[in-house]
Amino acid sequence: MAVDITIPPLSQTMDTVILVQWLKAVGDEVVNGEPLFVIETDKANLDVESPATGILRRIIAEPGTEVKVRSKIGVIASPDEIIPQGPGPKPTPEPKAAQPLPTATGPGGQPLPPEQRNRIFASPRARRLAQQEEVLLAEVTATGPQQMIVEQDVRAYLEARRAAPEVTPVARRVAEAVGLNLTTVVPARPGARITRADVEAALAKREAVAPAGIQWVDLSPTRRTIARRMAESQQAAAEVTLTREVDATELVHLRERILEELSERDRRPAYNDFLVSIVARQLKQHPYVNATTNGERIGLSEEVHVAVAVDTERGLVTPVVRNADQKGLLQLAQERAELVRRALDGSITPEELGGGTFTITNLGTLGVDAFTPIINPPQVAILGVGRIRSAPAVHKEELCVRQLMYLSLTFNHRFIDGAPAARFLADVVRLIEKPHLLWLDVSQSIP
């Protein structure tokens, strides 16, 4: 029996992927569970296994094609089995965008009186047509006698609805990614849907009048996802940033002493590993910082999963160190280094990128002192880390050179007030300035 090859759903937020490569050719034998093709998600390249054993009889989508999740891209069947040779299944049309349409009114376009607003009068032919075309009669303007909706009213409504062109999902994402207003895009044929080709044609016209020397580059799936998620974060969250200068001298000395004790086989912990350990222990004591949101409710997590931002050629990704509060420094260093390696080479999985409850992003290695990080949805807070630098400071009433750094905590003020956020940041600062307190129970008040 023929088996369809489809694109598996890999996350709740991803609806398309790029088909990178087929690992088998038409006519090749395939085995259930062996890698069959490679896809590019918004985070990484992934091998997808064959859903059945048999012969790869048909390939529908070619490498380089953007395909929808759950769409059919090929067929596996036995050598002598007859399979349909037509094109793949018709794609599900994108839901029609809401358009301003006529509302229910009485004669002369006047609103119905209050006692009649909940009563809809329509002829049998009008009701039958409305049912066939899935039209809500409450949205149709009545022109018949005694405010009755007649068949012609429903047809006028349908014409008004069809006048606004539909937009394919790919075309909408491309337009959003490059900031193109879809109202300026004209479909190739009157009444047809706006496709990616129509959007690209509109972009070509825009580029034609652009200043000389500009090279337009298509955004990668990762970059488009980052753009969308950052826009969502700014629109959905009331973001506030608190910044503290920290004396990290003791932390620097502690790291130096630890490195001296390690053997050549041990993973050498970086400052990020110390910060993950410190932040994770404090998140356990501040549940409203260690949380996610769906926009209306806040989810308090009993577990601490710290995401660490990694700069890759594909864009920014945030692999997650799970249960970070329960792990020792060397284990954290080993796990984080492995996650960073897989993020850089593109082999990291969606599971390793999801489920974070808090994010740390460090630009100190790039010479940045302080910055305003943007929350990684659906989380409610993120910590930005600046470089550690030698600078004059007053320590124990004496002017001396200390190792200073800035921490910037951005939080969603819809769910966290300023004082609780400041207390969390203060507790993190204390453990950086007095790292020996990590040996104490951090649930107790820190002196």
Asked whether 375 and 381 are in contact (CB, 8 A), the reply is yes
Please name which of 15, 21, 1 lies closest in space to residue 346, comparing C-alpha atoms: 21
Catalytic residues: 413, 417
User: How many other β-carbons are positioned within 10 Å of the β-carbon of residue 155?
Assistant: 15
| 123 contacts: CB under 8 Å, gap ≥ 6 | 144, 148, 149, 150, 151
User: How many other β-carbons are positioned within 10 Å of the β-carbon of residue 190?
Assistant: 8
| 376: three-class secondary structure by DSSP | coil
| 278 contacts: CB under 8 Å, gap ≥ 6 | 428, 431, 432, 435, 438
Q: Alpha-carbon distance 362 to 383, whole Å?
A: 8
- Say how many Å lie between the first and final Cα of the chain, rounded: 71
User: How many other β-carbons are positioned within 10 Å of the β-carbon of residue 44?
Assistant: 22
197: Cα separation from own chain's centroid: 25
User: How many other β-carbons are positioned within 10 Å of the β-carbon of residue 1?
Assistant: 8
